[in-house]
């Protein structure tokens, strides 16, 4: 009986919308069509911003390969929301990723609602097939 009560209480909290709510990303090729910039890059810095327009992270990436978009530098900055319950993507320093981003004004933005992944070799193969 005790287990049933605990399960019931936990199920009440499961319906509270703390997590990001977005559709599951499509295939690699479908997501590439939906995004303006797709790169393979290494996270080289992370900066927390607390400004009048909100809180967010700016990640700087060293570009390894441009899969889509026009980028003229080897370093780019991409904005993402703060960690949960928002839709931030949890990038890790010194790790390589395939990043799907769009322009919002002059900034590139991404979130966990995109197909960003550390499995960049597998993702690149999916884009080439």
pLDDT per residue as tens, the chain (129 positions): 554 444 444 444 444 444 567 777 788 899 999 999 999 999 999 999 888 878 889 999 999 999 999 999 999 999 987 765 556 778 999 999 999 999 999 899 998 888 899 998 898 888 888
What is the architecture, at CATH level 2, of domain 20-128? Beta Barrel (2.40)
Q: What proportion of the chain, given as a percentage, has pLDDT over 90?
A: 45
Q: How far is CA 83 from the centre of its chain?
A: 11
Nearest residue to 99 via CA among 67, 75, 127, 73: 67
CA angle 96, 97, 98 (to 5 degrees): 145
Contact between 57 and 48 under an 8 Å Cβ cutoff? The reply is yes
Structure tokens that stand for 69 in this block: 């978009």
């Amino acid at each position: 009986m005790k287990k049933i009560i605990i399960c019931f209480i936990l199920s009440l909290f499961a319906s509270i919308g703390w997590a990001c709510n977005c559709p599951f990303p499509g295939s690699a090729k479908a997501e590439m069509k939906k995004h303006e910039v797709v790169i393979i890059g290494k996270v080289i810095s992370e900066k927390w911003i607390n400004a009048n327009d909100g809180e967010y992270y700016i990640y700087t990436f060293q570009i390894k390969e441009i899969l889509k978009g026009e980028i003229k530098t080897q370093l780019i900055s991409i904005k993402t929301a703060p960690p949960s319950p928002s839709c931030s993507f949890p990038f890790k320093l010194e790790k390589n990723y395939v990043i799907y981003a769009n322009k919002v004004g002059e900034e590139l933005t991404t979130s966990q609602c995109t197909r960003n992944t550390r499995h960049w070799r597998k993702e690149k193969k999916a884009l080439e097939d």
